[in-house]
Structures are given as structure tokens and as C-alpha cells.
Amino acid sequence: MPSYDYRCDLNGVTLEVRHGMDQVISSWGALCRQAGLETGKTPADAPVRKLITGGNVIRSENLGSGQTPPCENGGPCCGANRCGF
């Protein structure tokens, strides 16, 4: 299930929640319910907006190539199977 960032401009809080792509969250109360949090002093009907956030970038030339991306320092693999992370 994808995660999304929402911001409430009334209280200045940004929360990350997971939900289905078809679900719409437009109020602080709905966002807090999804996150399992109390609304606090912010009114439940305060509007929230979904933020545009970047995802992980995967280089297409590595997809299905069977090759491990190079280490960050450009040197040989460290041998710990953690290259490219």
C-alpha cells in the first residue's frame, strides 16, 4: 500500500500515512484517524492537502540486468551485499 504525505496549514503539521490509491483524505480528523492519532487542539474539519513527494529512483538500465549498482564511492563492491544502498 502506498504512503502519502499530507499537510495541515492550520497547525503546520505534516503526516505520512498509508492508504489505498482510491481513498481521499481532506480533513485533519480523517488524517488523524488514518494515522491512529488524536486530533489534539486542531478542529477535525480543518482542511489538509496531499503533498507531492518524490519516490525512490531506480535506474532503468539496472532493471533486470542482474548487475548490482556500484558502491557510492565508485570502487569495487564491499562484499557485504550492500552496494548501491
| Banded model confidence at residue 73, pLDDT cuts 50, 70, 90 | low
Indicate the domain borders of the chain.
3-50
The answer on pLDDT for 36 being more than 50 is yes
Cβ neighbours of residue 11 closer than 8 Å, sequence gap 6 or more = 28, 40, 41, 42, 46
Q: Residues 35-50: what's their mean pLDDT?
A: 97
pTM above 0.85, yes or no: no
| Banded model confidence at residue 85, pLDDT cuts 50, 70, 90 | very low
**In terms of pLDDT, which residue wins out, 70 or 18?**
18
